[in-house]
Structure formats: C-alpha cells, structure tokens
Amino acid sequence: AALPQPYRASFHFQPPDNWMNDPNGPMFYKGYYHLFYQWNPYAAVWGNITWGHAVSTDMIRWHILDLALLPDQWYDQYGCWSGSATFLNGKPVLLYTGWSNVSFSRDNQVQMQAMAIAVNYSDPLLRQWTKIPQNPILTAPDGINSTKFRDPTTGWLGKDDKWRMIVGAKRKHRGLAILYRSSDFVQWEKAKHPLHSVARTGMWECPDFYPMLASASRNGIDTSVTGPHVKHVLKVSLDDTKHDYYAVGTYVTGNDSFIPTNAKLDAGLGLRYDYGKYYASKTFFDDNKGRRILLGWVNESSIESADIAKNWSSMQGFPRIVWLDAENSERILQWPIDEIKSLYKQKNTLESMRLDIGPVVKVKTTNGAQLDIEVDFALPELKQAEKLEVNASSAQQLCSERASSRSGLVGPFGLLVLASEDQSEQTAVFFYIVSDGRGSWNALVCSDQSRSSLSTDPDKTAYGSFIPVFGNETTMSLRVLVDHSIVETFAQGGKVCITSRVYPTKAINEEAQVYVFNNGSVPIQLKKLTAWEMETVDIGPF
Ligand code: FRU
C-alpha cells in the first residue's frame, strides 16, 4: 500500500516525486509562467541532475511537462546544473552549468557553461529544448578552480548593445561574480574585473543581479534597466552557510561594477532573504504583471531515510513579489503573490481581544494544515520591555533561548501553528520585544521548531532575526502560510521572512490546530486575525 502522505504541500510547488533543488530559468512566455528545477529522476536524494519543467498561468496551479534538459552531452554528462533564462529578441534561451569530468583537451574542466534554445518558439509551452553545437560556451578562466565556476545569471543588455551576465565563483577565500560580455550571447569575453567580490564569503552559488525602482514602487523592471531612478540588488547563495544574502547598491555601468550602499551589508555579509530554510533563489521580471518575482528552494528538515521512504524531498517557496523598502532603502520587502487569493475557501477570524499571560486562544478551523493567516497585534507601552542587546548574529540564538514556552515581559506573543490539540506539538511564530536601554526597541522575530514534532528525527533548529521598532509604530503583524510541512512567515509587511519545515506526528491534516498566545507578563491586544482555508492544488501533467 502507498504510504499516507500528510506532509506533501497543497499549494507550494513540488514535483510528483524524487529530489528537487534550485529553481531555474523562471520566466513568463506567451501566456504561461515557466519554472524549471533541479531534479533527480531516479531518487529522493541529490544526483543525476536534470531540468524538470512545469508551466502555469498563475504560478500556483502548475503542470509538469517533459524534462527540458538531460545530462546527455560530454560537457554535462553528470548533470545539468543551475541556470537562467534570457529573452533575445523576444525568444527565451537558457544558460546553465554542465557538470562533467571529461578532460578532452580541456584539462579536466568540471563545470562549464552551456546554452540551450527552444526547438519551437511558436509553442507557448516550450516543450522541447536543444543544446547549441557551440557548447560549452565557457570554461573556467585562469585562476579559477573549475569545481567552483557555475550558475550563470539572466543576461542584461548594456548601452553598447552588448550582453552581460555573471557566473558564480570562488578564489581563495573570496566569493566572486565573474562578469562576461557578448554581442551574440554565444561567444563570451571575460571582463577584466568581476562585477563584485567579497572576502571571506565562500563560493557564490546562484548569483542574481537585478534592478529595482528607487522610488520603492511595487512595480518591477526589466533586468536591463539602468539609470538614476534605479537601485540594484546583488544576491549570492553561500555554499558554506547555505543561506541567500543580498545587498542593495549601485550598478556603475561605466566600469560594470557593483557598489553596496552600506559596506557592512555587502553581499554575503548582511541581510538575508529569509532567516529559515531558503536557498539558491532566483528572481525574474514578470512583464505580464509588471513585477519582480522571487522563487527559492526550501529544503528538508527530515532525515534522508525518511525522504527515501516518502519518495520526495523539498519544495519551492511560495512565489514572492519583491520591491525596495521605502522606509529603509538598504532593504527589500517580500510578499506572497496576490494570486494566492484564488485558493481561499472558508474564512476564519478572531476579533479584537486582550491576551493575558498563559492561556492560548484557539482559532476555529476545519483544516489547520493549509492556511493563509494574517494577524495584527497592538504594541503595548514599550518601556516595559526587557533590556536585551540583539544583533544579526545573536538573533537566532536568542530565539531559541527566549523560546515561546518561556515567559517574558513584552512577549513572546504570536501564533502556534501545526499544533496538536494538547499543544504537545506546535510550531511557534512569535515576536519578543526588547529594549536596547538607549531609547530604541527591537522586535525579535522567531520561528521556533523545537516542539514541532514528537519524533526526534527531524531537524528542529529555531530561526530568527529582528526588526527595529519605531516610536510611532502601533502594530506588529504576521502573515504565515501553513502548508502541511512548511511554515512561511512574513513579519511586519515582509521586512523579515522565515521559512521552516516541520514534521508533526499528531498535528497533521484536519488534526492540525492554530492558537494565539502571549507568554509575556504585559497583556497584548490582538487587533484582528484572519485565517483563510486553502484549496488543494493538483499538480498534474499538462
Ligand atoms: C545550489 C547548487 C548550484 C548547482 C546546483 C546543482 O543548490 O549547488 O550551485 O548548480 O545546486 O544541483
């Protein structure tokens, strides 16, 4: 008999089975969103990497097509690794990394960049792809170890009509984005200087480089747009910490370099897209709706033998729209795409109430395992907050020390999701407000998995970050997408995001409950809570 599958997502993308990792080449073409992904056709563990392919009209209801790229050439015989799509005169082409150990005359090149084009551009589903005969179009340059040379980005066009793109690499202890230029997208010339590099940041996997409107409008812009009205974002995925870091800065087109606005928040050092599980992400400009969309790989907290037993591993994060924060131009904001509303079924609410320390308040649901929850709390008098220093490196640790179960002063308050009726299982998403003793306040934002499962197998690390709380701020808000074994949190309008993976044993399907709690001695006013029950998407063949 087939295993019961209480942990598969209902509205997050997953292929029907086996291992998935990075999202690749996302784009919109002739009425369809295309998502490619790193996929092992044979097992629920990494290996034999191909490009899976799915299409959708809303980035939610995906249909699986035939594999787009298979390891069938000498330069990619061990795997077709990550890459990106670029439109050349309206026609998308794919750049990707081939993995091989074939030496030929090419002195043991391992990772090489290759290109594929669609066989029939009048097919909106772009069902068939072919690799160009000029492949590999790039091998590792002198001074770069060919095992650390991969993940070409979407190209962008300069004022000189030449294409640019970057490839992630590492030299000694420095991560770098090697810059290439080309007139025809096939023959590439390495620029003298990388677009950017940062010491002590590890290998830059899956770099992403794109413009944002400096006006902080939610509208997105095409990857080639430059000018004084634009800021650029450079994102890198660090292979050692397995986190995605980004920096906002200026793209100096004169010499093709990137200068971060704040050197302390340079790529690989500062801000993260997500403080939980989120990696190898990629954005694309959605010219269908004029916005920039972010997709990211959410890996497992389950152990490998459990993945093999359930025959799948990983999900994609729910598509997010990204734009610059008007309040703080060094930061971007992220929010689930609006299409999510097409999945809403029953609406469950809690009206305004006072939350005293201790007793939890249940949110009535019929299926607490698939929800989109929004909750607003009123900030109490901040003078009562505990004095506690938080910074980027201490927040996660403080989130496990100031765990939801411990009582505090202003908080912890928030939600228990995927909770069993007796709360012996619960994933706590919460705020803890602290004072720096100098008249400023911060909110720790935490996702505490420590009690998420009675099973001892899954990883239950607590995640967290913090947000400065301003004197004029009145509300602390959480948006939490709950989907069987994924909990995606967007705090304070998308200033901080935390994604976690959990494997409850009791709090599954209709048994999963939601509660509001306050474990701080200062009463907290709940302003309003809405929990939408979500439809189940059937990700089938086209
Ligand atoms: C990131 C990554 C990429 C590589 C791909 C291989 O998760 O390691 O650098 O191209 O996965 O599957």
pLDDT in tens, 180-220: 999 999 999 999 999 999 999 999 999 999 999 999 999 99
Location of structure tokens 């909110």: 443
The Cα–Cα gap between 320 and 308 comes to: 29
pLDDT single digits (tens) 312-343: 999 999 999 999 999 999 999 999 999 999 99
Average pLDDT over residues 10-16: 97
Q: Give the distance (Å) from ligand 1 centre to CA of residue 45.
A: 13
Atom of ligand 1 nearest to the CA of 279: 7
Mean pLDDT of the region 367-373 = 98
**How much is the average pLDDT of 100-121?**
81
Give dist(CA 202, CA 229) in Å, integer.
32
- Identify the DSSP state of 138: B
pLDDT tens-place string over residues 49-107 = 999 999 999 999 999 999 999 999 999 999 999 999 999 999 999 999 999 976 554 55
- When pLDDT is cut at 50, 70 and 90, the band that residue 377 belongs to is very high
The neighbour count for residue 139, using CB atoms within 10 Å, is 17
Residue 124 to residue 107: CA distance in whole angstroms: 40
Q: For the residues 33-43, what does the mean pLDDT come to?
A: 98
* pLDDT tens digits, one per residue of 304-317: 999 999 999 999 99
Please check the confidence at residue 126 and state whether its pLDDT lies above 60.
yes
Q: What is the dihedral of CA 470, 472, 475, 480, to 10 degrees?
A: -40
Whether 21 lines ligand 1, by a CB cut-off of 6 Å, is yes
Residue 465, token pair as written in the block: 């970050």
pTM of the model: 0.97
Answer whether residue 541 shows pLDDT above 80.
Answer: no
Q: Is residue 2 over pLDDT 80? A: no
Residue 121 clears pLDDT 90, i.e. is over it: yes
Q: Which of 25-29, 101-105, 160-164 has the lowest mean pLDDT?
A: 101-105
Residue found under tokens 């009425």: 31
What mean pLDDT is predicted for residues 286-294? 98
Ligand 1 pocket, residue 50 CB under 6 Å: no
Q: Which atom of ligand 1 is nearest to the CA of 81?
A: 10
The β-bridge relationship of strands 18-29 and 312-313 is parallel
Least confident of 260-269, 305-314, 396-405: 396-405
User: Of 427, 423, 418, which is closest to residue 509 (Cα–Cα)?
Assistant: 418
Please tell me the distance between residue 38's alpha carbon and the centre of ligand 1 in angstroms. Answer: 8
DSSP per residue, 146-183: TTSEE-----EE-TTS-EEEEEEEEETTEEEEEEEEES
Give whole-number Cα distances, 49 to 21, 27, 131, 175, in Å. Answer: 9, 21, 16, 24
CB 518 less than 6 A from any atom of ligand 1: no
Cis peptide before 136 (omega within 30 of 0): yes
Residue with tokens 């950017």: 196
Ligand 1 centroid from CA 205, angstroms: 7
Give me the active site residues, please.
Answer: 22
CA 38 to ligand 1: nearest atom:
12
- How high is the pLDDT of residue 401? 87
Task: Say yes or no to pLDDT of 168 above 60.
Answer: yes
Cα(365) to centroid(ligand 1), Å: 39
pLDDT band at 108 (very low <50, low <70, confident <90, very high): low
Report which ligand 1 atom has the smallest distance to the Cα of 22. Answer: 7
The answer to whether the CB of 500 is under 6 A from ligand 1 is: no
The residue whose CA is least distant from atom 1 of ligand 1 is 280
What is the pLDDT, as a whole number, of residue 499?
A: 98
Q: Which range, of 290-294, 417-421, 435-439, averages the lowest pLDDT?
A: 435-439
pLDDT at 104: 52
| C-alpha span between 131 and 388 (Å, rounded) | 56
For ligand 1, whether the C-beta of 76 sits within 6 Å is no
Q: How confident is the model at residue 109 (pLDDT cuts 50, 70, 90)?
A: low
Out of 150, 238, 279, 314, mutate this one to test ligand 1's pocket (max ligand atoms within 8 Å of CB): namely 150
Report pLDDT for 294.
99
Q: Residue 1's pLDDT is what?
A: 56
CA distance 418 to 155: 42
Ligand 1 centroid distance, CA of 429 (Å): 30
CA distance 297 to 442: 29
- Burial code (b: 16+ CB inside 10 Å, e: under 16) for 94-128 equals bbbbbbbebeeebeebbbbbbbbbbeeeeeebbee
What average pLDDT does the structure give for the chain? 96
| Cβ(153)–Cβ(209) below 8 Å | yes
Measured torsion, CA atoms of residues 235, 375, 539, 70, in degrees rounded to the nearest 10: 10
User: Please, which pLDDT band fits residue 404 given cuts at 50, 70 and 90?
Assistant: confident
- Measured in Å, residue 167 CA sits from the centre of ligand 1 at 12
Q: From CA 456, how far away is CA 185, in angstroms rounded?
A: 51
Cα maximum dimension of the chain: 73
State the DSSP code for 318: P
Name the token pair of 271.
């801000």
Residue 460 has pLDDT above 70, yes or no: yes
Neighbours of 149 (CB within 10 A): 24
- pLDDT at residue 106, as a whole number: 53
306 and 457 Cβ atoms separated by less than 8 Å: yes
Q: Which of 205, 208, 238, 243 to mutate to test the pocket of ligand 1 (most atoms within 8 A of CB)?
A: 205
Q: Is 244 in the pocket of ligand 1 (CB under 6 A)?
A: no
Span 421-449, average pLDDT = 96
Rounded percentage of the chain residues whose pLDDT exceeds 70: 98
Cα separation, 375 vs 387, in Å, equals: 26
Helix (H, G, I), strand (E, B) or coil at 254: coil
Instruction: Copy the structure tokens of residue 72.
Output: 């069938």
Provide the 3-class DSSP secondary structure of residue 475.
strand
Nearest to 321 by CA among 235, 248, 217: 217
Q: Print burial letters for 17-53: b (CB count within 10 Å at least 16), e (below 16).
A: ebbbbbbbbbbbbeebbbbbbbbbeeebebebbbbbb
Tell me the C-alpha to C-alpha distance, in Å, between residue 6 and each of 16, 60, 146, 242, 508: 14, 20, 42, 27, 6
The closest-lying atom of ligand 1 relative to the alpha carbon of residue 206 is 9
User: Which residues on neighbouring strands pair with residue 38, listed in sequence order?
Assistant: 51
Domains of the chain: 20-338 (2.115.10.20), 344-534 (2.60.120.560)
Do residues 37 and 25 lie in contact, with contact meaning Cβ atoms separated by under 8 Å? no
| Per-residue pLDDT reduced to its tens digit, 466-500 | 999 987 889 999 999 999 999 999 999 999 999 99
